[in-house]
Amino acid sequence: MTYPQFECLKVERRGPVGWLINNRPDRLNAMSAKMRDEFAFAWTELDRDPEVKVIVHTGEGRAFQTGVDVAEIASDGVGMERYRRSVEAFDLHFTAWHQQVWKPVITAVNGMCAGGGFHWIADADVVIAASDAEFFDPHVSIGQVVSLEAIGLIRKMPVEAVMRMAFVGRHERLSAARAYELGMISQVVDPPGQLRDEAQALAETIARNSPAAMRATKRALWGALEQGLTDACRAGAGELVSMWGHPDQEEGPQAFAEKRPPRWRDLTER
Amino acid sequence: MASYATLQIERRGPVGWLVFDRPDVGNAMDATMFAELEAAWRELDRDPDVRVIVNTGNGPSFQTGLDVAQLSRDKDALREQSHRTRDADLRLTAWHNQVWKPVIAAVNGVCAGGGLHFVADADVVIAASDARFVDPHVSLGQVSAYETIGLVRKSPMEPIMRMALAGVHERLDPHRARQLGILSQVVDPPERLRDEAQQLGEKIGRNSPAAMRVTKQALWGALELGLTDANRAGGRALVSMWGHPDQEEGPRAFAEKRDPVWQPLEPHERTTA
């Protein structure tokens, strides 16, 4: 599959790994209206490419992502009002979770991650970061509310650390090392220059597993954040049973017994 | 205590032990073990001398999930289990069996796949320093659901998601698991695990059985509800102890600088058969 040209993103495939790269480095990868539209399209493109088994999301330059493009907001006369309807309706499309991408998504934080940048931490399955990455949430320091990103984060990690970031605003930064301790991320890459290689390697490792089983697993685990434990287990049973009779379910144990790599079905076939 | 083919069940002081005992096959669960687990949890739960339950395994593994050898040999043997899996009606763990006594999982070695049920559903988890956690499901074309659903409600989600998606290709060590709050104690050298578990069990066994039962119900109940509703239910749980003899005995023993004498637990009703 060849991908269309994007203005604010780079989208490409390396082996089984689809890459989505924020590409407004001179704006610290802040999200303009254009970039926001491109995200929606890029996730969908990577999701429907059968060659892509795992997706890595990172950024060009010294920032990963720094939220909405405040310069654009302040200068174009429309401001945040252009987003009112979609936010009020929670009709957003710029993360993999928003777009219901059920392939595994790894966020590789290459530098500063600020404010709205947390959307892609909260909504990723796996997060790794360069050792010099820093996290902070400046919303309240510029008179804005912290809501969606932090709501996602407090369901996934200790709450106090998220609350502190929300209230300290731009006056303090969380290091990659502390983010690792808290279980916000699972790997700190040092030296930072190794980040993309490590992300590619991790993605290739994950890509060795059954795409269909991973899709059902991902649905079950994100579903666990939606309801009480017992109901989540009931819903998870549905995902689990959905794999019964799938060829991968026979192939996995058989390949293991025969000491060979399994041959999985593509997500598009059955 | 009844005798079991796949488990060792015994009591040491106030501590009931439920030990997986199929060391040659990584303590994997076959049809017999599935049936025995339900019976054993209930026996330990009924025994008034058992205040706390420790769950561990014999041999180099803690627990490695479904016995796939039996599955490939004799699918029929596991049919009941398949139905229970489909219907979300499992009876493997203390939580499944509505055991409201404190349960300590003491992870003695490899804990793989379905073994994670017993980590997710325990109240307290400790591990030997050579324990390892791995979730091979997706590497074998299987879905990881129950065990990891429980874990993502109890610990940071990202590392659980990573374990579920990395499959056999990565393992979580007990030091990292402790850092993440999946467990609270790493025992080194590993041979000390059972002694430490017994000690911890005896420590917990000194507290009011009735108060611990209600506490456990309130905290697991909190995973079922939103925050405000969980507090409402928790308030009712709290008040349910008012007037219980232990509620008087605790402060009195403290004032008199003596050990409290707690009431034995009244049996409780289960909502499952």
Query: Is residue B151 assigned to a domain?
Result: yes
A18 DSSP β-pair partners: A13, A55
Mutate to test the interface with B, among A178, A217, A222 (most CBs of B within 10 A): A217
Enclosing H/E stretch for A187: strand A187-189
Task: Using a CB–CB cutoff of 8 Å, tell me whether B181 touches chain A.
Answer: yes
* CATH ID of A9-206, from 3.30.950.10, 3.90.226.10, 3.40.50.2300, 3.30.465.10: 3.90.226.10
The answer to whether B95 and B155 are in contact (CB under 8 A) is no
pLDDT digits (tens, 9 = 90+) for B53-92: 999 999 999 999 999 888 888 888 889 999 999 999 999 9
Q: How far B258 CA sits from the closest chain A CA (Å)?
A: 38
Query: Is residue B2 assigned to a domain?
Result: no
Q: Which ipTM score applies to this complex? A: 0.93
Which positions in chain A touch B146 (Cβ < 8 Å)?
A: 233, 236-237, 240
Would you tell me how many other CB atoms lie within 10 Å of the CB of residue B49?
10
Which positions in chain B touch A231 (Cβ < 8 Å)?
A: 224
Is the pLDDT assigned to residue A269 strictly greater than 80?
no
**B173, B245: one domain:** no
Contact A157 B157 (CB under 8 A): yes
Task: Using a CB–CB cutoff of 8 Å, tell me whether B157 touches chain A.
Answer: yes
pLDDT digits (tens, 9 = 90+) for A77-136: 887 888 888 998 899 999 999 999 999 999 999 999 999 999 999 999 999 999 999 999
Q: What is the pLDDT of residue A235?
A: 95
| Three-state secondary structure of chain B | CCCCCCEEEEEECCEEEEEECCHHHCCCECHHHHHHHHHHHHHHHHCCCCCEEEEEECCCEEECCECHHHHHHCHHHHHHHHHHHHCCCCCCCCCCCCCCCCEEEEECCEEEHHHHHHHHCCCEEEEECCCEEECCHHHHCCCCCHHHHHHHHHCCHHHHHHHHHHHHHCCECHHHHHHCCCCCEEECCHHHHHHHHHHHHHHHCCCCHHHHHHHHHHHHHHCCCCHHHHHHHHHHHHHHCCCCHHHHHHHHHHHCCCCCCCCCCCCCCCCCC
**Terminal-to-terminal C-alpha distance of chain A:** 20
- The DSSP annotation for A201-236 comes to HHHHHHTTS-HHHHHHHHHHHHHTTTS-HHHHHHHH
**B133, B231: one domain:** no
Contact B159 A183 (CB under 8 A): yes
Sign of CA dihedral A172, A177, A180, A186: positive
The set of residues, in sequence order, having a beta carbon less than 8 Å from that of B40 and lying 6+ positions away, is B2, B4, B7, B9, B18
Is the pLDDT assigned to residue B193 strictly greater than 70?
yes
B10 DSSP β-pair partners: B17
Q: How far B28 CA sits from the closest chain A CA (Å)?
A: 15
Q: What is the pLDDT of residue B273?
A: 59
List chain A domain ranges. 9-206, 211-257
Mutate to test the interface with A, among B67, B135, B139, B143 (most CBs of A within 10 A): B143
Query: Is residue B160 assigned to a domain?
Result: yes
DSSP alpha helices (H): ranges in chain A? 33-48, 70-75, 84-88, 119-122, 148-156, 159-168, 176-181, 195-206, 211-223, 229-242, 247-257
**B190, B228: one domain:** no
Helix B146-154 vs helix A211-223: crossing angle, to nearest 10: 40
Task: Using a CB–CB cutoff of 8 Å, tell me whether B88 touches chain A.
Answer: yes
Section A20-27 average pLDDT: 98
Which positions in chain B touch A126 (Cβ < 8 Å)?
A: 158, 161-162, 165
pLDDT digits (tens, 9 = 90+) for A41-90: 999 999 999 999 999 999 999 999 999 999 998 888 887 888 888 998 89
pTM of the model: 0.94
Report the distance separating Cα A29 and Cα A111, nearest Å: 11
Task: Using a CB–CB cutoff of 8 Å, tell me whether B162 touches chain A.
Answer: yes
Domain's final residue, options B204, B238, B265: B204
Interfacial B residues in 95-134 facing A (CB < 8 Å): none
What's the mean pLDDT when you consider all of chain A? Answer: 95
Overall domain count for chain B: 2
Task: Using a CB–CB cutoff of 8 Å, tell me whether B199 touches chain A.
Answer: no
pLDDT digits (tens, 9 = 90+) for A220-260: 999 999 999 999 999 999 999 999 999 999 999 999 989 99
The pair of structure tokens assigned to A171 is: 């006056």
What is the domain-level CATH number for residue B25? 3.90.226.10
Section A163-177 average pLDDT: 96
Domain of B213, in residue numbers: 209-255
Contact A228 B68 (CB under 8 A): no
Q: Which of these ranges, A172-181, B74-83, B142-151, has the smallest mean pLDDT? A: B74-83
Query: Is residue B37 assigned to a domain?
Result: yes
Which positions in chain B touch A246 (Cβ < 8 Å)?
A: 141
Mutate to test the interface with A, among B72, B142, B179, B216 (most CBs of A within 10 A): B142
Task: Using a CB–CB cutoff of 8 Å, tell me whether B77 touches chain A.
Answer: no
Using pLDDT thresholds of 50, 70 and 90, give the confidence band for residue A270. Answer: very low
Question: Coil, strand, or helix at residue A155?
Answer: helix
Contact A126 B161 (CB under 8 A): yes
Contact A205 B169 (CB under 8 A): yes
**B69, B30: one domain:** yes
**B122, B232: one domain:** no
Report the distance separating Cα A71 and Cα A37, nearest Å: 18
Contact B149 A252 (CB under 8 A): no
Contact B72 A205 (CB under 8 A): no
The set of residues, in sequence order, having a beta carbon less than 8 Å from that of B186 and lying 6+ positions away, is B126, B127, B128, B129, B174, B175, B178
Which positions in chain B touch A199 (Cβ < 8 Å)?
A: none
**B234, B148: one domain:** no
Closest chain A residue to the Cα of B67, Cα to Cα = A253
Is the pLDDT assigned to residue B214 strictly greater than 90?
yes
Angle in degrees, CA B173, A184, B180, rounded to 5: 35
Query: Is residue B75 assigned to a domain?
Result: yes
Domain's final residue, options B184, B204, B224: B204
**B173, B223: one domain:** no
Query: Is residue B262 assigned to a domain?
Result: no
Q: How far B62 CA sits from the closest chain A CA (Å)?
A: 21
Contact B140 A183 (CB under 8 A): no
Out of B149, B223, B225, whose CB is closest to A236? B149
Domain's final residue, options B204, B220, B244: B204
The answer to whether B62 and B33 are in contact (CB under 8 A) is no
Using pLDDT thresholds of 50, 70 and 90, give the confidence band for residue B272. Answer: low
| β B124-128/B103-107 pair status | parallel
Out of A205, A225, A240, whose CB is closest to B145? A240
**B242, B177: one domain:** no
Q: Percent of chain B beyond pLDDT 90? A: 90
The number of CA neighbours under 13 Å toward the Cβ of A129 is: 31
Burial of B34 (0-12, 13-18, 19+ CB in 10 A): buried
Contact B157 A221 (CB under 8 A): yes
Query: Is residue B216 assigned to a domain?
Result: yes
